[in-house]
Every structure is written in C-alpha cells, then in structure tokens.
Chain A
Amino acid sequence: MPTIRVTGLHVRHRKTVALDSLDVDFGPGVHGLLGPNGAGKTSLIRVLATVAEPAGGRVEILGEDTGDHRRLGDVRRRLGYLPQDFGYYPGFTVREFVAYVAWLKEMPAAATPSAVERAVARVGLADRIDAKVRTLSGGMVRRVGIAQAIVNAPQVLLFDEPTAGLDPEQRVEFRELLRELGTSATVIVSTHLVEDVAAACTEVTLVDEGRVAYRGTPQSLAALGETAVGVSGDNPIERGYTAALRAHRAHGSAAQAVRTLEGTAR
C-alpha cells in the first residue's frame, strides 16, 4: 500500500505545463526526485506538501485525498516539509522557531519542548539551540529547516533541495539522517545532485518535462550508466541519469523509455 498515490496530476504555471498527467506512487523509504531544472520536481513537491493546488488529477497521502479540504489538517499534521526557499524569522532562536512550527502543526503543548530538543539534536544543532537564527551560517539555517520539518515526527517528509548550502561534510551527515528517517517514514527528496540520491535513496524517480522519465533503484540507474554508450557523466549513476533523460526525450513516454533502456542494458 503506497503512502502517497498521485494519479493524472496536472499542474500549470500560467501557460506553462509543469506536470502533465503524472502518475506515481511512493511507499516507505527514501525517494530521490531527480531531474533537470524546470522538470517539475518542485511543482510535484509543492502539490504533495499541499501548498499548491493542482489543475487536475488526484493526490492521496496516507489514504486521504488532499483535494478534500476537510481532511487537509489530518494530512498536514503528519507531514514535514522543507521548501526550496526556506524562510525563517531571524530574531527567533532555533528553539523558538522550531517550537513555533510545532505550534503551527498543532502539536500537543506538553510534548513540544522535548520534540523540539530532539529534532534540533538530530540535525546537530543542540549546542546552538538558544542561538538566534540570524547568527547561524547558511548551512546551519538549512539544518534548522530540516529540524522544523521533522519536529512532528512526520510519516511523510518532503525535502526540496535540502542539501543546498550544506558543506560536503554536512551533506554526508544529512544523507545518514535521511537513511534513518526513511526507516520509519516516506521521505521524498527533490535534488539535482545525483550523488545524494546514490548515497541515501532507496528509490529514484526521474522527472522530465512534467512526466516521470524513469523509476527504479539507484543501483538500476547506475547499471544503466554502466552500459550506456555515448553519454557523459563522472560516474555510472550520472551517466544513467543522462541516458534515462535522453531516452525519455527520444521516446516521449516513461514506459517506452524504460523498456528501451532495459533493452539497451541487456
């Protein structure tokens, strides 16, 4: 039973089609959402986060139809979201800001202080918990964003470019956190960094031109890269990413692209 089921999702930004009849399911684990700029990754994440309303299609999260506004509260209560452009109140301390988000999510007041401390500790900011957010580095602010996303122990976590601004060491640590979160929740990570996907994700979904171009494991994507001919990339998964994109653009449908790729791989 998938945690998230997306059927025929259609998203427009004025005259531009961001997502075009997209069908995809996500179950527990860490899902990497890959794709070039403008592919529709952020549009998909925003719809899943219930921030944006689709022009068409249906999204079910944890069995609830997000189109049913009466059920949105239940969905959001079990959702964590780190936007691509993470905003914060610089005068708040880390503790205050994460507690504020907990309040927004209607967490029980009695459980909030310990949940806040736990979330902040998980992102390695325990020693800066009472520092004002404005005093933190860009990477630390990003970690505050992660802390606020996980403070309510969500069953669905949506990260949009979570490693932007993190230094290499912090990225490695974040991948570890992702793996751990994926053991108990459905985690969707939108990124354009294939190494993040390779290191942390159990499944990868490649989105291109508003459609799913490829779905599989990072290992299968890497395998495509191993066998692909005439594609650029520093490592197999990058070459697999490029090959999958090319195939999707050449054949116009995800299924056909996958069949073609599998044929090529064989």
Chain B
Amino acid sequence: MTLVAEKKREHRPPAGVPARASRHPLRAEFRRGFAPWAGLALLLTLAVALAASSAQWQGGWAETRERLHTTAQLLGVPLALAAGCWQGGRERRRRTEELMATAVRGGLARFLAAALPVVCWVVAGYAVAAALAMLATGLYATGDRPDLVAPVTDAVALASGALAGHALGRLLPWRLTAPLLAVAGYVVLGVVAYDSRGPLRHLSPIGYASDTDVPVWWQPPAMTVWTGGLAAAVVLAYAARRRFTALLPLAAATAAGALLVQTGEGLWHTNPAAGRQVCDTSTTPQICVNGRYEELLPQVTDALSGLTGRLDGVQNLPVRFTDLPGEPGPDEAHLPMITPLGWSVVRGRLTDPQQFAWEAGQALYGRIECDEAVGPRVAAVDDAVVHYLAPSPAERRFDELAAEGDAAARAELRDRLDARARLKAMGDEERRAWLSEYFASAGTCDPSEVPAL
C-alpha cells in the first residue's frame, strides 16, 4: 500500500460511511500514557502501606481515618507531586513542545488537558484505596462511624499536589526533578508532621493525628481551601492568560491558612464517641467499654465473666471498669487498654481473653505503681488474688523460670504457691470476707494495710 495510492483511494471516507464515532480527543489522555500508571502506583503504595499495618486500624473507624489520612498525606502527596511533575516534563521528554507552541488552545486549557488525567487517576487510586480500607474496617467495625469528610480533604490535597507538581515539571523539565520533588515533599511533610511545636504545623495537610480527637467542622473545608487555593494559584500563575487571576485563589488560601494558624489547638476536640461509654451493669464490677468500641462489650463481658463470677458478693470493689480517656474515678478501675488496636483487639476480636482478664484483675488491686515498695509478702498476696480471679496465660512459664532460678527466686515461688493454695483452700464465705478486706486496701503501697493470707 503506497502513499500515493492511499491518497488517491482514501482521501475521504467512503460515501455513506460515517467517520468513526466521535470521542473527545482528551479521552486518549486519560487512557494512555503515564496517568493510569500514576493512579495505579498510588493505589499500590497506599494498599501495601495500609495492608502492612492492617491490625492497627482495621475495625476502628477513627484508626482507619487516621491511618488512611497519614499514609495518603505522607506517601501519597509526594507521589502525586512526582507524578504531576513527571507529566509536566512530558513535552520536553517527548519533544512535543514545538507542536504545542503552535496550538490555538490557550495555555491553561493545554495545561489542564495534560494535568487533569494525572490528577483524576491519582484521586481515583486514592478513592479505591480509601474504599477498600473502609470496606476492610466495615467488616469488623466495633462502633463509631466512618468519616467521609477526611477522604475528601485528602483527595483535594492529592489533586493539589499533582497540579502543583505539573507546574513545577513544566518549569524544570528534567528527569530528576520528579524524584527529587518526591523526596523533598516526603521530608518536608514528615518534618512538619513530627514537629508538634511550631504554629505552622496546623498548615500541614497531615495535621494532628489522633484516634480520640476530631477536627472542628470547618477545619476540613479550610484545609481544602488552603491546599487547593495554593495549587490553583500556582496553576493560574503559570498557565492562565491573565495571570493576575492567581491572586484570587492565593488570597483565599492565605485567609484559610491564617484562620488555621490563628485557631491552633482549637481546631481539634475530643471525638464525641470517645467521651461516651456503654456498660453492662449486670456484673460486679460493672463493665464499660468506650463508645468507639461498643460492639466489643459482649466479648469483653465474656472474657471477664470468670473474674466477675468469682467476685460475686465481694465488698469494697470498684463500681465499674471504665474505658474513658484520663484517670478513672475513685470507685472505678481502668478497663485494660483496647487501643491501640493491634494488641488486645485485632479486627474486632479480643486476641487473648485470658490475658485481658488477667490485666483486668491487676487493675482491681491497683498496686502496679508501687513497684518493690510493697515487699514480697504483699506481692505474694496480690499474685494469689490474681491467680484466683484470672491467672496470667504466662503464669506457668514464670513459675518454671522461678523454679529454675536461684535460691531467692525459689523461695519467692514457694511463698506465692503457698499463698495461692491458702486462698484456694478457703471456704466460699471465708474467701469472700477475706477478699472484701483485701480490696479495701486496693491502691495502697503500705504493706501493713494489706491483710495476711
């Protein structure tokens, strides 16, 4: 088939045969080239990072929000910057600058035509990662509710990163610009994220990461205006025909940034769900879990059923196990920590109910902070009580180690075993009375106040 022959035969489509269905030319920009790969890279990066730490967030909505947010900002934004930058340098790499220079379309249209595919694919990659993370948590959620605002803020930050990166890629169209920008972005975001002192930290899109705090309602939109406004200003300053229009988003970003810095710590308040707890009042002590994990209550109650059963009728006990931020009240004991996820609780399940019950038993006598001051007698008494209520899963191992130890260790072991045997040998009424006297001494480090066994 020769060019001349083609010319003669195929100058025009055959009569009556319409040209192939029209699709927007920019469709190719979305389907071809680098943009889909950028989205895939972001998705894989987030997926791998999230999967590697899934035990620490899966099942908790607040943990999911924070982990997704931190990962997206710390890893995603530098990646988006680099992806945008690489796309921005495309005209130089592909030698299409001459062609573009003869375009009728304005600079802004051409800029957006090249940048938006990367922006959209990066946001799509993030959206898929966020959806997967939420689905993964939804399967094991134990309370609270998903936060749908944070992902929108993250998406805007990623889009802003890709747009700003694209502008930088056009200004500095070298192959090394993109990786250097990614490294610089990672370092800057990391430093700002871990510098908890300077007022400028409130301008960091990573912000303050906490499971128990949530932002005030206007913080996400203000952060969106801050990041999006800066990116829009960069784009307009670079590509718009009337460059002064960049002042408008710049002014909006500046106002939003000033508001964020001025408000400071006031941007955050305690998650209402974290300040609430749900309780099972049928046991002694009552068992309360934080509102963020209210659906764990049956599991916790079940895990502590042996302990609470043995305390039936015992006096001087705390009224309840509580699970709220801060110190428990005078008649309360702290429920063993459910958070951070990944230890006691993984994917909505208590990982080791026996260990959890043992920790709860220790919380009841409250002498953890007395250290050695209580002496070996009280230590043996406390050990006997916890052994009776809920023995540690590692108790046998520790006993074996003590039996293999020096004379002092063996003597302490003998004391502990004797104390356990004496408590076990008591009749029910006698044990109840002794335990009531024992729990009256809860929290004291004075050995004389602890009854002998």
* Chains A and B bind each other: yes
A residues sitting closer than 8 Å to B (CB atoms) are 46, 49-51, 73, 76-77, 79, 81, 83, 85-93, 95-97, 99-106, 109-110, 112-114, 116-118, 121-127, 143, 148, 169-170, 172-174, 176-177, 180
B residues sitting closer than 8 Å to A (CB atoms) are 1-7, 9-13, 18-22, 24-29, 32-33, 90-91, 94-105, 110, 113
Judge whether B7 and A51 touch: CB under 8 Å: no
From A170, which residue of chain B is reached at the shortest CB distance?
B3
User: How many whole Å from A96's CB to the nearest CB in chain B?
Assistant: 4
Measured between beta carbons, the chain A residues less than 8 angstroms from B102 are: 49-51, 76, 79, 81, 104
From B104, which residue of chain A is reached at the shortest CB distance?
A106
Measured between beta carbons, the chain A residues less than 8 angstroms from B105 are: 103-106
User: How many whole Å from A221's CB to the nearest CB in chain B?
Assistant: 25
Judge whether B3 and A123 touch: CB under 8 Å: yes
Our pick among B13, B24, B28, B104 for the contact of A109 (Cβ within 8 Å) is B24
Judge whether B3 and A87 touch: CB under 8 Å: no
How many angstroms between the C-alpha atoms of A31 and B380 in the bound complex?
107
How many angstroms between the C-alpha atoms of A118 and B20 in the bound complex?
12
How many angstroms between the C-alpha atoms of A221 and B94 in the bound complex?
38
Judge whether A122 and B13 touch: CB under 8 Å: no
On whether A89 and B96 interact (CB within 8 A), knowing A73-B104, A96-B32, A113-B20, the answer reads: yes
Measured between beta carbons, the chain A residues less than 8 angstroms from B22 are: 109-110, 112-113
Measured between beta carbons, the chain A residues less than 8 angstroms from B24 are: 103, 109
How many angstroms between the C-alpha atoms of A87 and B173 in the bound complex?
15
Judge whether A87 and B98 touch: CB under 8 Å: yes
Judge whether B97 and A87 touch: CB under 8 Å: yes
Judge whether A113 and B19 touch: CB under 8 Å: yes
Judge whether B33 and A122 touch: CB under 8 Å: no
Measured between beta carbons, the chain B residues less than 8 angstroms from A180 are: 7
From A72, which residue of chain B is reached at the shortest CB distance?
B104
User: How many whole Å from A183's CB to the nearest CB in chain B?
Assistant: 13
User: How many whole Å from B32's CB to the nearest CB in chain A?
Assistant: 4
On whether A117 and B99 interact (CB within 8 A), knowing A89-B32, A173-B4, the answer reads: no
Our pick among A73, A79, A126, A174 for the contact of B10 (Cβ within 8 Å) is A126
How many angstroms between the C-alpha atoms of A141 and B11 in the bound complex?
19
Measured between beta carbons, the chain A residues less than 8 angstroms from B27 are: 96
Interface centre among A89, A116, A125 (most CB of B within 10 A): A89
On whether A176 and B95 interact (CB within 8 A), knowing A93-B28, A112-B25, the answer reads: no
Measured between beta carbons, the chain B residues less than 8 angstroms from A96 are: 25, 27-28, 32
Judge whether B103 and A105 touch: CB under 8 Å: yes
Judge whether B25 and A86 touch: CB under 8 Å: no
User: How many whole Å from A59's CB to the nearest CB in chain B?
Assistant: 14
Judge whether A121 and B10 touch: CB under 8 Å: yes
Judge whether A121 and B110 touch: CB under 8 Å: no
Judge whether A176 and B7 touch: CB under 8 Å: yes
How many angstroms between the C-alpha atoms of A83 and B29 in the bound complex?
22
Measured between beta carbons, the chain B residues less than 8 angstroms from A172 are: 4
7 smallest CB-CB distances across A and B, nearest first, come from A87-B95, A173-B3, A121-B10, A124-B6, A96-B28, A124-B3, A114-B19
Give 20 A-B pairs besides A51-B102, A96-B25, A180-B7 with Cβ atoms closer than 8 angstroms: A49-B102, A81-B102, A85-B98, A89-B94, A100-B28, A103-B105, A104-B99, A104-B102, A104-B110, A105-B105, A109-B24, A110-B22, A116-B19, A121-B7, A121-B11, A122-B6, A124-B3, A176-B7, A177-B4, A177-B7
On whether A176 and B4 interact (CB within 8 A), knowing A101-B99, A113-B21, A117-B20, the answer reads: yes
Measured between beta carbons, the chain B residues less than 8 angstroms from A97 are: 28
How many angstroms between the C-alpha atoms of A102 and B95 in the bound complex?
18
User: How many whole Å from B348's CB to the nearest CB in chain A?
Assistant: 44
Judge whether B96 and A122 touch: CB under 8 Å: no
How many angstroms between the C-alpha atoms of A103 and B24 in the bound complex?
9
How many angstroms between the C-alpha atoms of A95 and B29 in the bound complex?
13
Measured between beta carbons, the chain A residues less than 8 angstroms from B25 are: 96, 99-100, 102-103, 112
How many angstroms between the C-alpha atoms of A100 and B95 in the bound complex?
15
User: How many whole Å from A76's CB to the nearest CB in chain B?
Assistant: 5
Judge whether A92 and B32 touch: CB under 8 Å: yes
Measured between beta carbons, the chain B residues less than 8 angstroms from A73 are: 104
How many angstroms between the C-alpha atoms of A109 and B148 in the bound complex?
38
Judge whether B99 and A148 touch: CB under 8 Å: yes
Measured between beta carbons, the chain B residues less than 8 angstroms from A49 are: 98, 101-102
From B100, which residue of chain A is reached at the shortest CB distance?
A104
User: How many whole Å from B408's CB to the nearest CB in chain A?
Assistant: 76
How many angstroms between the C-alpha atoms of A227 and B1 in the bound complex?
41
Measured between beta carbons, the chain B residues less than 8 angstroms from A88 are: 94, 96
How many angstroms between the C-alpha atoms of A113 and B431 in the bound complex?
92
How many angstroms between the C-alpha atoms of A74 and B28 in the bound complex?
26
From B27, which residue of chain A is reached at the shortest CB distance?
A96
How many angstroms between the C-alpha atoms of A123 and B11 in the bound complex?
9
User: How many whole Å from B63's CB to the nearest CB in chain A?
Assistant: 40
22 contacts between A and B (CB under 8 A): A76-B103, A86-B99, A88-B96, A89-B32, A92-B32, A93-B28, A96-B25, A96-B28, A99-B25, A104-B99, A105-B103, A113-B21, A113-B22, A114-B12, A114-B18, A122-B11, A124-B7, A126-B10, A173-B3, A176-B4, A177-B3, A177-B7
Measured between beta carbons, the chain A residues less than 8 angstroms from B3 are: 123-124, 143, 170, 173-174, 176-177
User: How many whole Å from B205's CB to the nearest CB in chain A?
Assistant: 32
From A73, which residue of chain B is reached at the shortest CB distance?
B104
Measured between beta carbons, the chain B residues less than 8 angstroms from A86 are: 95, 99
Interface centre among B5, B11, B28 (most CB of A within 10 A): B28
Our pick among A76, A100, A123, A169 for the contact of B104 (Cβ within 8 Å) is A76
Our pick among B11, B95, B104 for the contact of A77 (Cβ within 8 Å) is B104
From A126, which residue of chain B is reached at the shortest CB distance?
B10
Measured between beta carbons, the chain A residues less than 8 angstroms from B113 are: 103
On whether A124 and B104 interact (CB within 8 A), knowing A86-B95, A99-B28, A113-B21, the answer reads: no
Judge whether B96 and A87 touch: CB under 8 Å: yes
From A69, which residue of chain B is reached at the shortest CB distance?
B241
Measured between beta carbons, the chain A residues less than 8 angstroms from B98 are: 46, 49, 51, 81, 83, 85, 87
User: How many whole Å from B364's CB to the nearest CB in chain A?
Assistant: 67
How many angstroms between the C-alpha atoms of A118 and B5 in the bound complex?
14
User: How many whole Å from B95's CB to the nearest CB in chain A?
Assistant: 3
How many angstroms between the C-alpha atoms of A104 and B102 in the bound complex?
8
How many angstroms between the C-alpha atoms of A100 and B98 in the bound complex?
15
Measured between beta carbons, the chain B residues less than 8 angstroms from A79 are: 102
How many angstroms between the C-alpha atoms of A99 and B19 in the bound complex?
13
How many angstroms between the C-alpha atoms of A90 and B307 in the bound complex?
70
